[in-house]
Structure 1
Amino acid sequence: MSTKDFIKKSVLNTFTQYDAPKLALALLTALALGILIYLVYRQFYTGVVYSRSFAVTLVGMCVLTCMVTLAISTNVVISLGMVGALSIVRFRTAVKDPLDLLYLFWSITTGITAGAGMYALGLVTAVVMIGMILFFYHWQAKGRVYIAVIHYLGTDAEDDIVRAFGRCKFVVKSKTMRKDSTEMAVEVFSKDPNLEFTDRLRAVNGVQDVTLIQYNGEYHG
């Protein structure tokens, strides 16, 4: 068979070899697993600002990847065209949290396995991933990281400020001195949801104000 005849036969088979129930099952499975990934991401998100659009993207990514896999596995000509089309796509959105890459690849690989009909593999992978996320979520130290910006007068207040942090782990990141006033930026790791150390800081003689900012970071103190 010549190359021309092979391509012609492949194109004609495109319209005859679709199995509607199989396609529907694959897409529904991808949708269900994508929703599962969405729920896991929403439940265990530890960042500062939760992005609902990114979470919804995980579901869409799973379904679209499944569709692409189904199209590629059906026809050789379509697969070549799909490779050419996807090769010109450029994504400019920066991923701020490295853990988001885990969810992105989980969504993409789930769509591929659903499109290939490997439903058991997709389910087993979901169970393993959820177990791994649960393990590390409960294993890591519970608490939040803050940046405390403190303005105080004089030099005698600094020792009292250090004592006011109590058992909280902290690291002085910067100190700006302007005549009698000083601005100190401190990275604080606190397990206390009430943040009682802020009350102790405000009670220190010489402290003018305290600004507390939560950020998504890892404490290395």
Structure 2
Amino acid sequence: MNFEDYFKKSVWETFTSSQGLTADFVVKAVVAMALAVILGILIYKIYGHYFGGVVFSRSFATTLVGMTVLSCMLTLAISSNIVISLGMVGALSIVRYRTAIKDPMDLLYLFWSISIGITLGAGIYVLAAVTMLVMLFVVHLFYNRRKKGVIYIMVVHYESGLAGDEILRSLGKMKYQLKSKTIRGDQTELTMELLCRNSNTLFMENIQAVEGVKDVTLIQYNGEYHG
């Protein structure tokens, strides 16, 4: 070993000792962060493929990648230095996130990203890979079940007392559940939950043709209806 190599090694050892770093830790951190980026992008792609909403939020999807990388970084930092770990616990305990999560599935993807990042930061790469496969299977399974039918809320206003029975007969073999029925004088408001196997809404025209029916409204059900 010549003087230049010895000098570089001495500088590196001085820097790493002062920062609490070792060569093994640097290799571990590089591998973990690289895997965090790869798996974070994979979660991003899965979220985009199985997204069931109306407007796809690219900013939220990008957040999934960032959450995976940042949670990995935090775990690496906590595992490398006890002082940093105590400081982060104190700092994170006062952080408050007030952004509302409207879709519970978004919360699932957020926690999925954080969990993968923590697992990678802890160096348990096999568990992270197995978790990715299991979660992909779960999301795919329930996504296919949801695609077998779409749930709607149908609101019908009618006046004739006999129109209610005709409305139910117009639904044919569709699965439905009565949510509410409100009578105001001569007018009745009927709210029902329907399961449509396809996008055919011809039954609405049949209901509208029933004598006494004033209007028919069909709304896709997203779990936020209260009636």
TM-score range, shorter chain: 0.7 to 0.9
Alignment TM-score, normalising by the size of structure 1: 0.82
Does the C-alpha gap of structure 1 residues 16 and 217 become closer, same or farther in structure 2, counting only changes over 3 Å?
A: closer
CA distance in 2, matches of 1:92, 1:199: 44
TM superposition shift of 1:99: 3.5
Q: Bigger CA drift: 206-215 or 99-108?
A: 99-108
* Aligned partner of residue 188 in structure 2, secondary structure: strand
The answer to whether structure 1 residue 190 and structure 2 residue 199 are counterparts is no
Q: Cα RMSD between the aligned structures? A: 2.6
Q: How does 1:53-72 map to 2 (within 5 A)?
A: 53-72=59-78
Partner in structure 1 of residue 83 of structure 2: 77
The answer to whether structure 1 residue 13 and structure 2 residue 38 are counterparts is no
Q: Which amino acid counterpart does residue 185 of structure 1 have in structure 2?
A: T
8 Å contact kept, 1:46–1:216: no
Partner in structure 2 of residue 3 of structure 1: none
CA distance in 2, matches of 1:181, 1:125: 54
TM superposition shift of 1:43: 2.0
Does the C-alpha gap of structure 1 residues 188 and 93 become closer, same or farther in structure 2, counting only changes over 3 Å?
A: same
Does the C-alpha gap of structure 1 residues 94 and 167 become closer, same or farther in structure 2, counting only changes over 3 Å?
A: same
Q: Bigger CA drift: 55-64 or 38-47?
A: 38-47
Structure 2: runs of 5+ lacking an equivalent: 1-15
Q: Deviations over 1:115-173 (max 9, x none)?
A: 22333322222112112222333356721111111111221211111111111111222
Greater Rg by CA: 2
Alignment TM-score, normalising by the size of structure 2: 0.80
1:104 to 110, 116, 125: 110
* More RCO (CA 8 Å, sep 6+): 1
The answer to whether structure 1 residue 174 and structure 2 residue 180 are counterparts is yes
8 Å contact kept, 1:146–1:214: yes
* Aligned partner of residue 46 in structure 2, secondary structure: helix
Partner in structure 1 of residue 8 of structure 2: none
Does the C-alpha gap of structure 1 residues 50 and 149 become closer, same or farther in structure 2, counting only changes over 3 Å?
A: farther
CA distance in 2, matches of 1:132, 1:216: 20
Structure 1: runs of 5+ lacking an equivalent: 1-10
Q: Bigger CA drift: 92-101 or 172-181?
A: 92-101
